[in-house]
Amino acid sequence: MHSSPSGLAAAAPPLPCHVAIVMDGNGRWASGQGRERSAGHHSGLGPVRTVIEAAARHGIEALTLFAFSSENWSRPASEVAGLMNLFCDALDAELPMLQTNGVRLRFIGELSALEARLRARIDAATAATAANSRLRLQVAVSYGGRQDILAAARRVAARCERGELRSSELSAEEFAAGLALAGLPDPDLFIRTGGEQRISNFLLWNLAYAELYFTETLWPDFSAADFEIALQHFAGRQRRFGLTGTQVAS
Ligand code: IPE
Ligand code: IPE
Ligand code: MG
């Protein structure tokens, strides 16, 4: 609750509806402590819990977390295997936390590339949380923004081939209905930890007008206070969507 010096309750700052996070810096966090990269990935679970709970508490509608990119498959096989094991274990361990926070979980990405053991857990957790409605959580695994757009393009091309759609009549909304985030508002706040200022093939279509926030903090160190700071930065931005500042203010 915000209160002003006059004692009157101040208007709540604008909150994002949808936050997308590139959880980066696990490897450097571990190296900095003279530990294996896998230790960084394990320690990255705590902040995942933290941001889910904070988003649910704030009433943020949707949260999308980048956990493993299409390109991350090219990392050493041992690191990839460790990450897949971690995802399996985390799905088992965190299900009660998801239920407590009213989280509806979904995975986005090329899930057919995942081993059957992980896919089975994903399906079970998705089904178990399907009726929850407080926070919609998307975990992007084996996800690439270009691959996502390509899949949507193939979908409309197939409809054109079947004579169901004329290419000249394709709208942006109809195209976006074939993307992984169909049915969700576009992310309005993008957070990347770990100091790199790039998108790394995350939600290329959906981030068109996201406010970008970068922090040097490495993901395993990202705290509830850091999330609040990112929200404050968002609240201080003027979103213009191509208009002038005066137009937006009036
Ligand atoms: C992000 O941390 C996690 C994944 C990409 C799976 P990194 O593993 O990329 O950590 P850095 O960037 O090497 O520190
Ligand atoms: C982006 O991080 C992907 C995830 C956080 C899952 P990377 O560490 O893979 O990105 P680059 O290689 O630095 O661009
Ligand atoms: Mg990285």
Q: How far apart are CA 244 and CA 250, in angstroms?
A: 10
With a CB cutoff of 8 Å and minimum separation 6, the contacts of 198 are 192
Residue 132 alpha carbon to ligand 2 centre in Å:
30
Which secondary-structure segment (H or E) carries 52? helix 45-58
Residue type, 141: V
| pLDDT mean across residues, the chain | 96
Q: Which long-range contacts (CB under 8 A, 24 or more apart) does 111-115 make?
A: 111/141, 111/142, 113/73, 113/142, 114/84, 114/141, 114/142, 115/84
Does any ligand 1 atom lie closer than 6 A to the CB of residue 28? yes
Probe residue for ligand 1, chosen from 21, 28, 141 as the CB with the greatest number of ligand atoms within 8 Å:
28
pLDDT exceeds cutoff 50 at 154: yes
Residue type, 86: L
Q: How far apart are CA 131 and CA 231, in angstroms?
A: 28
Which secondary-structure segment (H or E) carries 69? strand 62-69
pTM of the predicted model as reported, rounded to 2 decimal places: 0.95
Q: How far apart are CA 134 and CA 132, in angstroms?
A: 6
Enumerate domains of the chain plus CATH numbers. Answer: 18-144+187-234 (3.40.1180.10)
Structure tokens belonging to residue 237: 């931005």
Cβ–Cβ < 8 Å for 58, 15: yes
For residue 26, which ligand has an atom nearest its CA?
1
Residue 8: predicted pLDDT: 53
pLDDT exceeds cutoff 60 at 225: yes
Residues with catalytic function = 24, 72
pLDDT in tens, 42-65: 999 999 999 999 999 999 999 999
Q: C-alpha distances in angstroms, 36 versus 23, 40, 58, 75, 243?
A: 18, 7, 35, 14, 48
CA end-to-end distance (rounded Å), the chain: 27
pLDDT exceeds cutoff 60 at 1: no
Residue 2: predicted pLDDT: 46
pLDDT in tens, 157-211: 999 999 999 999 999 999 999 999 999 999 999 999 999 999 999 999 999 999 9
With a CB cutoff of 8 Å and minimum separation 6, the contacts of 156 are 165, 167, 170, 174, 175, 178
Probe residue for ligand 1, chosen from 24, 42, 142, 216 as the CB with the greatest number of ligand atoms within 8 Å:
24
